[in-house]
Amino acid sequence: MNPELINCIKTITYLIEEHLDIVYSSPPWGGPSYSDNGSFNLDDLQPFGLEKFLRSILPICNNIAVFLPRNSDLAQLKSTSIAVFGPNFKLRVLKISTNGHLKGLLCCWGDAFTGIALPDAAGDNC
């Protein structure tokens, strides 16, 4: 067995055995052209689409936060959430802005993100 594969297996085993409260990720969106289309197809995340990405994290942690493009397809986000977490999924989507300009969406799945009251920041609705 090659050493890189052994190291990968050890890392995955370690992560599964550890208790992680939250996993955060900002996967590559595919470069500056991500905003060329009206809405971003979540299957175009790199190195694989959102559904496969979320399923790969679930064995490690149930509370997942992912920073996604501001023009992400929200209907696709909902259908992917149902496919991965079931019909009773818990998702909070926060609009991240700087100086009034929307930069992206912070999508948070899991119990750690529900029941937290967040005031609107500078009048922006989240």
SS3 call for 54? helix
- 17 or 91: whose pLDDT is higher? 91
Residue 6 lies in a domain: no
Residue 51 lies in a domain: yes
Q: Read off the pLDDT of residues 66-91 as tens digits, 9 standing for 90 and up.
A: 999 999 999 999 999 999 999 998 89
Q: How many domains does the chain have?
A: 1
Domain of residue 100 covers: 15-29+41-113
Find tokens 């005031």 and name the residue: 119
Residue 86 lies in a domain: yes
Residue 59 lies in a domain: yes
Residue 93 Cα to chain centre, angstroms: 10
Closest C-alpha among 52, 47, 55, 34 to residue 105: 34
What is the C-alpha radius of gyration for the chain, rounded to an integer number of angstroms?
16
Provide the token pair at 67. Answer: 């920073």
Closest C-alpha among 69, 70, 126 to residue 94: 126
Residue 109 lies in a domain: yes
Residue 122 has pLDDT above 50, yes or no: no
Which CATH number characterizes residue 52's domain?
3.40.50.150
Residue 119 lies in a domain: no
pTM of the shown model: 0.78
Q: Read off the pLDDT of residues 30-60 as tens digits, 9 standing for 90 and up.
A: 777 777 778 899 998 888 899 999 998 888 8
